[in-house]
Structure 1
């Protein structure tokens, strides 16, 4: 007799197995659950009715999207990819940090301002002086000169003696002048043969003064051609000398004063010594 082993009865749950669902069950780690089909249907209907835009709202949203897109075009990618950057944050990032001006720059600006103000005031003062006072330069002239000695020790060594009377005049009506430094030089054909310094002196407005200058030449070496020309002029009773002067003049108008250099030159024609006198002269003065 054979023993038939009966299989264990199956449970009702195994016979009525549910078909697999289209939607997977979310894992416990996920943050949100997947809604059912019926819930998805009602949610979509509700969103469609609630988010149906009006024409004005559409324009406002488009304009905001365009402005936000324009703003985000200038914003660089954040350092952390999951960091959300809003338009307000991007605008703050675009602003640069204001730097305070250093005290050195302020001091430099103040010094430059004071310098330019003083420079402008000085220019206005000088302009007023020139327009109101009309300053003129002193004049160098001569009315008398005497050629006392001319002789040669050797063909190249020259000795001479000349007395020159210099007339200085101040043509200004409102300015006093002072000759602080004055040097007179005697030339023969551009060869320096004597030098004489003058003591400082002053002249008031419209005043004329006379200074006697004694030029002495001792063993002055001349080029042979110039020495021969001088001997020829002495024999012809016409000796041509040149007197040049360089002066530092200070003009004063009360407390105001200014200085400048003055150059004078006189071309002399003298008769032969020992009683050589002034025959003709041409004088000019310039700054």
Structure 2
């Protein structure tokens, strides 16, 4: 018996899917152009986070091997951009001593307007921290030398809105040592900034 080839037209569903994909592609391309142009116009600079000030409010350790401390740490956030406000989230810093975690410092989402700075004050009060013999020796040595060092590491994520379709995102990271004099609880100021990251 003869065979006949059947011909079927393209279904409306496939046409609709193709049109939708084409529209999505155009929107994505257009959005990328808008973000790129906006970035070139605004040309945002990465904000700078730094330790503005600190103070050793309280430090106590005993022969049993328990350390208790309280610190005040002030983080400064600078937005040097003249044309855009900056939004910050996922802000978190970890404070430790000789690798032993003391506290986690967090901040809710916040905004810094263009060409302005904001200060984040933290009051860090630790629970009693048990020390092993090596840590007890480290604390004892620090007190005798009148210099005790804590480590502060962390950062924040920042973004600027560029038009209605997108945003530019950056990360600011901080990693530094905070040094104090146990005798009078003063902060030995030293450069502690994320400015070298950009």
User: What is the TM-score with the length of structure 1 in the denominator?
Assistant: 0.59
- Paired residues for 1:74-223 under 5 Å: 79=1, 96-153=5-62, 155-223=64-132
Distance 2:38 2:57 in 1: 46
The alpha-carbon deviation at position 153 of structure 1 amounts to: 4.7
**Kindly tell me: are residues 232 and 118 of structure 1, through their superposed partners in 2, closer, same or farther at Cα, counting changes over 3 Å?**
same
Question: Whose RCO is larger (CA < 8 A, sep 6+)?
Answer: 2
Instruction: Work out whether residues 156 and 173 of structure 2, in 8 Å CA contact, stay in contact via their aligned partners in 1.
Output: yes
The alpha-carbon deviation at position 172 of structure 1 amounts to: 0.9
Instruction: Work out whether residues 196 and 213 of structure 1, in 8 Å CA contact, stay in contact via their aligned partners in 2.
Output: yes
Distance 2:74 2:26 in 1: 48
- Paired residues for 1:16-31 under 5 Å: none
CA RMSD of aligned residues (A): 2.7
Instruction: Work out whether residues 184 and 198 of structure 1, in 8 Å CA contact, stay in contact via their aligned partners in 2.
Output: no
Q: Higher strand proportion, which one?
A: 2
Distance 1:151 1:263 in 2: 30
**Kindly tell me: are residues 148 and 264 of structure 1, through their superposed partners in 2, closer, same or farther at Cα, counting changes over 3 Å?**
same
**Kindly tell me: are residues 122 and 252 of structure 1, through their superposed partners in 2, closer, same or farther at Cα, counting changes over 3 Å?**
closer
Q: Higher helix proportion, which one?
A: 1
User: What is the TM-score with the length of structure 2 in the denominator?
Assistant: 0.82
The structure with the largest alpha-carbon Rg is 1
Greater than 6 Å deviation, 4+ residue runs: none
| Residue 176 (structure 2) aligns with | 266
- What SS is found at the alignment partner of 2:10? coil
**Kindly tell me: are residues 108 and 267 of structure 1, through their superposed partners in 2, closer, same or farther at Cα, counting changes over 3 Å?**
same
